[in-house]
Amino acid sequence: MTIVFLKRLEIEKEHETESAQVWIEEEDGLWISGWSGEDAAGEKRPEREIWYEGSVWNEMLAVYRHRLAAKLAEGYRPVIRDTFQEFLEAGQRGRFTQRLICYSELNADEELYQRLAAWRRVRATEEHRAPYLIATNRALRLIAAFLPRTQEELRELPGIGENTVQRYGEAVLEHTRTLERKHAFPLDWVERRLDEEEFEAWTYKGKERKFKREAERVRATRLLLESAKVGSSLSQISEASGLDRRELIDMMESLEKNGYDLESVIEHELQLMPQEQREAVMQAYAELGDSFLKPVLKKVYGEEPPSEPGLEILYEQLRMLRMLRRRAAERREAEAAMTPEPAGQSAPGASAEAVVESAPEVVIAPKPSAAPAASGRKRGTHAG
pLDDT of res. 345: 56
Looking only at the bridges linking them, the beta strands covering 49-54 and 30-37 are antiparallel
Query: In 10 A of CB 256, how many CB atoms?
Result: 21
pLDDT of res. 93: 54
Query: In 10 A of CB 174, how many CB atoms?
Result: 10
- Can you tell me the distance from the alpha carbon of 278 to that of 52, in angstroms, rounded to the nearest whole number? 41
Beta-bridge mates of residue 18: 11
Distance linking the first and last C-alpha atoms of the chain: 30
- Can you tell me the distance from the alpha carbon of 266 to that of 205, in angstroms, rounded to the nearest whole number? 37
- CA distances 298 to 109, 277, 289, Å, are 45, 13, 13
- Can you tell me the distance from the alpha carbon of 250 to that of 230, in angstroms, rounded to the nearest whole number? 21
Q: What is the mean pLDDT of each run of 10 residues along the chain (384 residues)?
A: 86 84 89 82 70 88 89 85 54 77 94 96 92 93 96 94 94 94 92 88 88 89 84 88 91 90 90 93 95 92 77 92 93 84 54 39 40 47 42
- Can you tell me the distance from the alpha carbon of 112 to that of 174, in angstroms, rounded to the nearest whole number? 12
3-state DSSP call for residue 144?
helix
- Can you tell me the distance from the alpha carbon of 337 to that of 334, in angstroms, rounded to the nearest whole number? 5
pLDDT of res. 308: 65
pLDDT of res. 371: 42
pLDDT of res. 366: 41
CB neighbour list of residue 89: distance below 8 Å, 6 or more residues apart: 203
8 Å CB contact between 9 and 20: yes
pLDDT of res. 85: 54
Give the residue extent of every domain in the chain: 2-89, 95-193, 273-335
8 Å CB contact between 254 and 91: no
| Alpha helical stretches, state H, the chain | 57-74, 83-89, 95-107, 110-127, 131-134, 137-146, 151-155, 162-173, 189-193, 196-230, 234-241, 245-257, 263-269, 275-288, 294-301, 310-338, 352-357
pLDDT of res. 198: 87
pLDDT of res. 343: 60
pLDDT of res. 73: 85
Nearest to 215 by CA among 60, 63, 71: 63
- Superfamily designation of domain 95-193: HRDC domain (1.10.150.80)
pLDDT of res. 283: 96
pLDDT of res. 284: 96
